[in-house]
């Protein structure tokens, strides 16, 4: 059964998950929505509302069981799948993503790097050898990559998306500033780094 | 007067702005919410609702005046300020941001790069020389940087934020996975690349 969960709630879940991991490392077994809110700078009301979306958690006046809540969020987000990423386009951004430590803390791992530039193919980035984009099918199959990450220029993004879908990835994370067409069965998330920057500009203009 | 505008609406405005720029380049002067929606993969109802937040736009059955709407969104987001960015931490992510083309399309420009690593100081990235973080005050003043971008490791992020605030930046865009304390007068936006990836994981798990 598909539940309707707002995008804003989904976007807060990884923050909850990561904080619960840190809390667990401190050997705490119970945490209140007040304390979780203090650590995340989110109101306790918002936290209780978000978590209530998934059913009954926590005991009034006591708090949430840290390990149970962490497990539940992991299941909702599908983090237990330990998705494997293939990054196509090993320029500045692709290289940065290959080295981004936050992915590992949520169970994601980068297993393949691809580029069509022969000067880059064969280089190692964070211990992973860059393969030729022309060998997409073999690379995706041999590394069992689930998610294709597109960090090529906009003009090449659709053809890379087509290749990734043909090679059998189950989802696409697109950083190219272009609207991509992919089959409905392949979820697509577009990332635009200037969205956060524009939000900052908005808040600075309100001062 | 501060208006209450939801974060989700604010996050869609830069997408509208960028699309309107492209529409303008095609010499179109009027665009319907249907056509804007088609280009952005957002429902026309959502677009009309978002834009209605800022007052009366568009004429029923005709559409929006492209140039007027673009100007209005630019004003709301504060893009006419042409904010100047100083990036602190010129590793993979800082280097990727220094080269990110999407910023320029919204009027942002990178004017300063800082790093405390003496092996990096003096290098040029995208035409900008990397300065020593120890010279923060002089660099921020001489480049008239408005926004401090933090791409250092989490352990160094708070001290860098303190230095940026002391140097007079008006806003902070933080990529370090840590909750920063800054004065209320300095807006702070935290960026976490794994949020989008977790949303993708969620959607893939629903298939």
Digit-coded pLDDT (tens) for A56-83: 667 777 889 999 999 999 999 999 999 9
CA atoms of B7 and B10, how far apart (whole Å) = 5
Identify all chain B residues contacting A40, using CB atoms and an 8 Å cutoff: 179
Residue B1 above 50 pLDDT? no
Residue B164 above 90 pLDDT? yes
Calculate the average pLDDT of chain A: 90
Residue A96 above 70 pLDDT? yes
Complex ipTM, two decimals?
0.89
CB neighbours of residue A155 within 10 Å: 9
**What confidence score (pLDDT) does residue B59 get?**
73
Q: Which of B37, B153, B198 to mutate to test the interface with A (most CBs of A within 10 A)?
A: B198
- The sign one gets for the Cα dihedral B163, B169, B171, B175 is negative
Residue B1: closest CA among chain A residues belongs to which residue? A206
Residue A179: closest CA among chain B residues belongs to which residue? B40
Residue B15: closest CA among chain A residues belongs to which residue? A195
Residue B207 above 70 pLDDT? no
**What confidence score (pLDDT) does residue A177 get?**
83
Domain boundaries, chain A: 7-79, 82-194
Q: Read off the pLDDT of residues B130-158 as tens digits, 9 standing for 90 and up.
A: 999 999 999 999 999 999 999 999 999 99
Q: DSSP secondary-structure letter at B185?
A: T
The answer to whether the CB atoms of B204 and A40 lie below 8 A apart is no
Cβ–Cβ < 8 Å for A47, A37: yes
**What confidence score (pLDDT) does residue A207 get?**
66
Mean pLDDT to the nearest integer, B1-16: 75
Mean pLDDT to the nearest integer, B3-31: 85
**What confidence score (pLDDT) does residue A1 get?**
38
**What confidence score (pLDDT) does residue B41 get?**
78
Identify all chain A residues contacting B13, using CB atoms and an 8 Å cutoff: 198, 202
**In which residue are the tokens 């597109």 written?**
A150
Residue A110 burial (C-beta neighbours within 10 Å; 0-12, 13-18, 19+): buried
Lowest mean pLDDT among A96-100, B159-163, B182-186: A96-100
CA atoms of A16 and A185, how far apart (whole Å) = 28
**What confidence score (pLDDT) does residue A141 get?**
98
Where does residue A78 fall: left (phi above 0), alpha (psi -120 to 50 degrees), or beta otherwise?
left
**What confidence score (pLDDT) does residue B25 get?**
86
The answer to whether the CB atoms of B200 and A173 lie below 8 A apart is yes
Q: Of A141-155, B2-16, B188-202, where does the model show the most confidence?
A: A141-155
Lowest mean pLDDT among A164-178, B12-26, B113-127: B12-26
Lowest mean pLDDT among A11-25, A64-78, A116-130: A11-25
Residue B31 above 70 pLDDT? yes
**In which residue are the tokens 């697109």 written?**
A174
Q: Does A77 touch chain B (CB under 8 A)?
A: yes
Q: Read off the pLDDT of residues B181-194 as tens digits, 9 standing for 90 and up.
A: 999 999 999 998 88
Q: Does A42 touch chain B (CB under 8 A)?
A: no
Mean pLDDT to the nearest integer, B190-199: 88
Q: Read off the pLDDT of residues B43-62 as tens digits, 9 standing for 90 and up.
A: 888 888 888 887 766 777 78
Residue B110 above 80 pLDDT? yes
Mean pLDDT to the nearest integer, B24-43: 89
Compute the 3-state secondary structure of chain B and give helix, strand, coil in percent, each to the nearest 5: 50, 15, 35
DSSP for chain A, written as a single string: ------HHHHHHHHHHHHHHHHHHHTT--EE-HHHHHHHHT--HHHHHHHHHTTS--SBTTTBEEHHHHHHHHHHHHTGGG--EEEEE--SHHHHHHHT-THHHHTT-EEEEEEES-TTTTT-EETTEEEEEGGGHHHHHHHHT--EEEE-S-HHHHHHHHHHHHHHT-SEEEE-SSSPPP--TTS-EEE--HHHHHHHHHHHHHH-
Mean pLDDT to the nearest integer, A86-100: 94
Q: Which CATH superfamily is domain A82-194 in?
A: NAD(P)-binding Rossmann-like Domain (3.40.50.720)
- Report helix, strand or coil for B22: helix
The domain A7-79 having CATH identifier 1.25.40.10: the answer here is no
Nearest-CA distance B16 → chain A (Å): 11
Give CATH for domain B82-195.
3.40.50.720
**What confidence score (pLDDT) does residue B112 get?**
98
């Amino acid at each position: 059964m598909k539940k309707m969960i707002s995008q804003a709630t989904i976007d807060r879940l990884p923050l909850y998950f990561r904080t619960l991991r840190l809390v667990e490392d401190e050997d705490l077994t119970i945490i209140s929505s007040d304390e979780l809110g203090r650590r995340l700078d989110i109101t306790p009301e918002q936290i209780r509302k978000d978590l209530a979306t998934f059913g009954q958690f926590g005991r009034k006046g006591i708090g949430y069981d840290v390990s149970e809540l962490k497990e539940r969020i992991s299941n909702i987000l599908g983090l237990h799948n330990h998705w494997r990423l293939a990054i196509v386009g090993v320029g500045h951004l692709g290289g940065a993503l290959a080295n981004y430590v936050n992915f590992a803390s949520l169970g994601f791992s980068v297993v393949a790097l691809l580029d069509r530039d022969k000067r880059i193919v064969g280089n190692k980035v964070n211990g992973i050898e860059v393969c030729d984009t022309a060998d997409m099918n073999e690379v995706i199959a041999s590394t069992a990559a689930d998610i294709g990450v597109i960090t090529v220029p906009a003009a090449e993004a659709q053809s890379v998306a087509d290749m990734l879908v043909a090679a059998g990835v189950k989802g696409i994370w697109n950083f190219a500033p272009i609207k991509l067409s992919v089959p409905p069965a392949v979820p697509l998330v577009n990332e635009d780094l200037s969205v956060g920057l524009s939000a900052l500009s908005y808040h600075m203009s309100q001062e």
